[in-house]
Amino acid sequence: MGELALDGPELAELAGLYRELHANPELSGAEHRTAAEIARRVEKLGYQVTTGVGGTGVVGVLRNGEGPTVLLRADFDGLPVREETGLPYASTAVGVDPDGKEVPVMHACGHDMHVTCLVGALGLLVRGRKAWSGTVLAVFQPAEETGTGALAMVADGLFERFGRPDVVLGQHVAPYPAGMVGLHAGPAFAATDALRIRMFGKGAHGSRPESAIDPVVMAAATVLRLQTVVSREIAATETAVVTVGSLHAGTKDNIIPAEAELRVNIRSYTPEVRAAVLAGVERIVRAEAAASGAVREPEFTPLDSFPVLVNDHAAVDRARAALVARLGERSVVDPGPVTGSEDVGAFGAAAGVPTCYWLFGGADPAEYARAEAAGRVAQDVPSNHSPHFAPVIEPTLSTGITALVTVATAWLGRD
């Protein structure tokens, strides 16, 4: 089974699927076209397909005798980002965000590659079914970017309807050289807390600031002070991130507005650090509002939330051994904890089974090597959520397919 691979025409067809998905992204919860295309492709491979699970989720099941049930997961929502890759298949799509605003949409996180790799892996598993025994539970999940998709599928009876897996497996494309795979045991992806914060001042004419309480200055002071939460309140041996990703206030240069809105993103790995950061953020926001003479207390609204993704040690050991045997030791690394977040762990937690989630590179190896030699990887290699992010199709696609099949059959393979 480990030597089974897709031929040239099959890879070409999958590359076409990738380009089609990349050119037609959809926002979280609105992935109707994508879900229909996934369902069509997976059903054609011979899987029993169910759509509309947890919203737009798609589930494919292939039962192949006695043995473990392995859940293979791919997510498929896009992001409100205007693509700037210049690719011939670049997205020009638009969508409507939760606030009712029309926004550009892009597969800026590589979910289109995740889907394509899983479809390719499902095809290989069908072809090689004489070499393994058990059940493949393919889960194509919507709304990962909002942290709601996995829980919605679980709440919609995923395991009651399709069976409880013995392990949850999945992967995420990353700005590493294509051909590389990275696994880290223990806390592997950070928890996320996203907040909307409203700060209230008093509006006035821009020429008469003495008659106003300026929420723009209030918010600006808050943004700067929030940078001290991690640098001065969290131990150097711990990890946390506080990012103000959005600040909105006012409509015109000569009008002092009455309020400002900040959107804050917090990353952490432990409950203690999470609690300390959240408390620090709230304390600073309230203190800056009071120092500015705010007319009322700030408002805090929780937005997206992701738990820490913890990779099971034994599952990672099994996956790593299989990947090293298939790809070679130099191609399998430990990237350490990632400060990005993922909701795939919700499947393993709900089922009470191990989760093993890994990274696979999507950057052109030659371009990555040049950037690394120049000490400019962070500057020259686009990362996830960048308007310039687009994995090179090969060898990203073949590596992702190989990794999924290799790790899946580490559980499904016959003695």
Residue owning tokens 């899983």: 118
74 with 140, same domain: the answer is yes
Q: Name the domain boundary from 250, 271, 305.
A: 305
Question: What is the distance, to the nearest Å, from the Cα of residue 49 to the centroid of all Cα atoms in its chain?
Answer: 24
Residue 313 annotated in ligand binding:
no
174 with 40, same domain: the answer is yes
Are 278 and 234 in contact by the 8 Å Cβ rule? The answer is no
| Arithmetic mean of pLDDT, 340-348 | 96
Report pLDDT for 304. 87
| Residue 21: pLDDT over 90 | yes
Q: What kind and span of H or E run contains 160?
A: helix 158-162
| Arithmetic mean of pLDDT, 255-272 | 97
pLDDT in tens, 99-125: 899 999 999 999 999 999 999 999 999
- The mean of the pLDDT values for the chain is 96
CA distance 196 to 162: 37
Report pLDDT for 5. 75
249 with 294, same domain: the answer is yes
CA distance 125 to 131: 9
Confidence band (pLDDT; 50, 70, 90) for 3? low
User: DSSP letter at 48?
Assistant: E
Exposure on the CB side of residue 89, measured as CA atoms within 13 A: 17
pLDDT in tens, 273-324: 999 999 999 999 999 999 999 999 999 999 988 999 999 999 999 999 999 9
User: DSSP letter at 300?
Assistant: E
341 with 289, same domain: the answer is no
Residue 43 annotated in ligand binding:
no
30 with 163, same domain: the answer is yes
Q: What is the CATH number of the domain that holds 389?
A: 3.40.630.10
Cα–Cα nearest to 360, from 339, 342, 333, 381: 333
In a domain? residue 1: no
274 with 337, same domain: the answer is no
C-alpha distance from residue 7 to each of 13, 68, 361 (Å): 10, 28, 21
In a domain? residue 404: yes
Structural domain containing residue 123: 8-189+308-412
| Residue 212: pLDDT over 60 | yes
In a domain? residue 105: yes
- 41 torsion bin: left (phi>0), alpha (psi -120 to 50), beta (else): alpha
298 with 324, same domain: the answer is no
82 with 177, same domain: the answer is yes
What is the tally of structural domains in the chain? 2
Residue 282 CB coordination number (10 Å): 14
Residue 388 annotated in ligand binding:
no
Q: Which residues partner with 71 through β-bridges?
A: 137, 168
258 with 390, same domain: the answer is no
221 with 343, same domain: the answer is no
Are 326 and 2 in contact by the 8 Å Cβ rule? The answer is yes
Q: Name the domain boundary from 282, 305, 328.
A: 305
CA distance 97 to 102: 6
Query: Which pair of tokens denotes residue 178?
Result: 């294509």
In a domain? residue 2: no
The model's pTM: 0.91
* Cβ partners under 8 Å of residue 355, min gap 6: 167, 168, 169, 309, 310, 311, 312, 315, 344, 345, 347, 348, 349
| Residue 2: pLDDT over 50 | no
| Residue 414: pLDDT over 80 | no
131 with 210, same domain: the answer is no
Cα–Cα nearest to 177, from 16, 395, 17, 407: 395
120 with 247, same domain: the answer is no
Residue 109 annotated in ligand binding:
yes
Residue 356 annotated in ligand binding:
no
For residue 213, the SS3 value is strand
Q: Which residues partner with 191 through β-bridges?
A: 268
Query: Which pair of tokens denotes residue 109?
Result: 């996180």
